[in-house]
Structure 1
Amino acid sequence: MKRTFTALLVTSTLLISPLTHAETAELQALIAAAQQENPLTVYASTGKIVQQAKAFSEKYGLKATGVKADAPQIIEIISREAQAKNVRADVAIVEDTPAAITQLLSKGYVQSWVPDDLKGHIAARYQNPLTVVLAPNVFAYNTTRHTTCPVTNIWQLTQPEWRGKVAMQDPTGKPAYTDWFSQMETHYDQQIRDAYQQQFGKPLQTNEKSATAAFVKALAGNGVLLTHSDNDAASAIGAPDGNADFVGLVSTAKFRDNQQGMKLGLCNGLKPFIGWNYPSLGVIATGSHSPNAAKLFIHYLLSAEGIEPQSVDGKMSTNQTVSLPANEASGIEKYRAELMEYLTDTAKEDWKSRQDWQDIWSLSYKK
């Protein structure tokens, strides 16, 4: 039976992307070694990990269990196990990249591993450490009230006509948003400054430390509707019978709710970007008792088959040969070039600046 699973994997892989003889042999050896190891435990912040672990088990004749937990829980579990020298977790897909780098990788509690046969298909910026999947957070509007997105520039959201009409999760409780602010300031501040001039026809004049800080303060001061969850933000924006007219930020996964009557539309064309991609790292616990099975699971997640349960939600594999499925609801595949890329090489700075951005938001926020 083990030989059958090996043959199936190699055949399937060859159909997707031909391997060299050396790569084929390496993959076969990895499968064979994995099939001799202990059952695998995989943590992730999405419930889809249960489905993915089950499919992985069936495909390779292994036993893998997927466990859903939020990023702080995953980090705490792995940290405690490492400190106690009692490693039970094997693989983690961690949505909080700055925390994962600072609290896990930097301390040696986990390792990053990139499959040799996929290195040519994954951009270098996503290899150290390995980013497995990118989750788009996008600006959305209500398609019942508008035929196209009613805003074309993010600075419009700081103006009186949009006061109280922007919905998003509270940045003081959602680190991904403060990381977004930090990334904008570090890598994209000129685009924010240029967008201001495009909107108002004059250069930005500000006493703030950056154009990004000026934008964040202006947005916070414009009566943003702050929500506790993505669901609440999506409901405010896309309610089919809503009386209010909201634009806001949601994950592409929320567009699936359009099948149940929600009216979310993607703000493609918005300047300087329509949202941003937030990375999830794929890491292997140092001291895992199933290191080969852990590597095989990472390899599996980087395939179209492995990531499919998440890709239907608009989550993008870093494997450039893998596209989103045709039934993905938001249509983000067509507009992925309009997303701001998160660059993990400055993730430690995002971690350090979180409290600063939370303070800027809190002190500037006005209902």
Structure 2
Amino acid sequence: MKNLQWTTAALLLGLFQPAMAQDLNTMSTAELLEKAKAEGSVTVYSFTSRIARLEKAFEAAYPGIDLQGYDISSTEQIARLKAEAAAGIANADVVYISDAPVVLNELVKPGILENYVPPRVAGRLSEANKTPILSQRVSTKVLMYNEEANPKGSPIENLWQLTIPEWKGRVVMVDPLQRGDYLDLMTEFALQADSMAKAYQAQFGKPIALGKAQDAGRKFIEDLFANDLILVKSTDDVNAAVGKLGQQKPPVGFTSYSDRRDNKDKGWALQVSNDTQPASGIVFPVVLGLVKGAKHPAAARLAIDFFMGDESKTGGEGFKPFYVPGDYATRTDIVPHPDAVALDKLSAWNINPAATAKARKDVGDLILTLP
């Protein structure tokens, strides 16, 4: 009888858990707050160090709820979350992450991450930014140059210039086999093969000769690596190499447009190469998700709601770390940053995560063969 009672209770719990989650999904911020206070804390894995500022802002807004933020790269997060899920562990409550092509396939589809769209902001988001996972903003990996050394504008008018002798050993980026967003950038060159072929003809005045390359995008990747592309460990390494003040012939590099926010504090002169053809780089979504089996489900939802910004035109303290040139809110009512190139004027390709996911392994395999 005891075993039967236990089994019945377990079945009932299984039936009620989805309903409980659904109830939390429809609760107002005030309703979530009461439950979050009882939980007392929330753990966030974040791919950006700006989580430290969010932690302070969240705890100031909601005293008594301890936000524990961990700065972990997207690649490391994916590996950790998969391992924790396999072990039946949920150490994080909220995941703030880029590398959407891998996230969708390896975290969302298997149910490791669950979607939560705060009711307060749902009507101010496009359907694409609400499903299958919530997108908080879009970020970039674009070509940047040193505007102190190039006061008249970018020295790169066409991406194919990066493959000629003048720029040999003067292009910097993070190793795309170590960081997913840079592999997504390389993959986009392949997916945009037609545009890369047209850009080649514009630069050199003749049709591209592919040789053994599959297409113009992959040929560009091969030629870029052959021109002594410099691979570094971190985006900050790119920024320092490209942006450092006082250089006569600085390199250019692929990095985050939003890192221009640090120019004054770090002595950089970074600027986006927005007139470069056929594009300066890529625009991609940054997403927020709930970890399945989160220990603090109400506080997790409250944190996601907070990260989406308040009712002000700039998103208030919850969005302040991202209200900088080069980050673009997905909420339609948050006004663009006045010092940024408008998103519709930014010469960067919008990635299609599904298409990127299909192609990136092949591109990664190509890069493995390059010297």
- TM bracket, shorter-chain basis: 0.7 to 0.9
**Paired residue for 1:279, among 282, 285, 295?**
285
Summarize deviations over 1:181-229 as a string: whole Å, max 9, x none: 223433x333222322332344334243222111111211112222222
Give 1:35 shift: 3.8
2:185 corresponds to which letter in structure 1? W
Give the Cα–Cα distance (whole angstroms) in 2 for the partners of residues 283 and 182 of structure 1. 25
**Paired residue for 1:344, among 340, 347, 353?**
353
Give the Cα–Cα distance (whole angstroms) in 2 for the partners of residues 284 and 151 of structure 1. 41
Summarize deviations over 1:16-49 as a string: whole Å, max 9, x none: xxxxxxx998444344444443421111022221
Normalised TM-score (structure 2): 0.80
What is aligned with 1:319?
A: 331
**Paired residue for 1:64, among 49, 62, 67?**
67
The secondary structure found in structure 1 opposite 2:181 is helix
**Paired residue for 1:136, among 136, 140, 144?**
140
Contact 1:41-1:66 within 8 A present in 2 as well: yes
1:83 corresponds to which letter in structure 2? A
What is aligned with 2:160?
A: 155
Give 1:334 shift: 6.6
What is aligned with 1:204?
A: 208
State the superposition RMSD in angstroms.
Answer: 2.8
Summarize deviations over 1:293-316 as a string: whole Å, max 9, x none: 222221221222212113337333
Summarize deviations over 1:251-287 as a string: whole Å, max 9, x none: 2343244314322232121112222223322110111
The secondary structure found in structure 2 opposite 1:57 is helix
1:308 corresponds to which letter in structure 2? K
What is aligned with 2:5?
A: none
Q: Do structure 1's residue 119 and structure 2's residue 128 form an aligned pair?
A: no
Give the Cα–Cα distance (whole angstroms) in 1 for the partners of residues 345 and 196 of structure 2. 19
Normalised TM-score (structure 1): 0.80
The secondary structure found in structure 1 opposite 2:289 is strand
Q: Do structure 1's residue 189 and structure 2's residue 198 form an aligned pair?
A: no
The secondary structure found in structure 2 opposite 1:216 is helix
Distance 1:142 1:64, change over 3 A: closer
Give the Cα–Cα distance (whole angstroms) in 2 for the partners of residues 347 and 60 of structure 1. 39
Summarize deviations over 1:104-137 as a string: whole Å, max 9, x none: 2222122022234433432333322222232222
What is aligned with 2:275?
A: 269
Distance 1:143 1:194, change over 3 A: same
- Structure 1 gap segments, 5+ residues each: 1-22
- Structure 2 gap segments, 5+ residues each: 1-24, 310-314
1:135 corresponds to which letter in structure 2? S
1:102 corresponds to which letter in structure 2? N
Contact 2:93-2:296 within 8 A present in 1 as well: yes
Give 1:138 shift: 2.1
Distance 1:237 1:111, change over 3 A: same
Summarize deviations over 1:72-103 as a string: whole Å, max 9, x none: 44334433443343423110112232332233
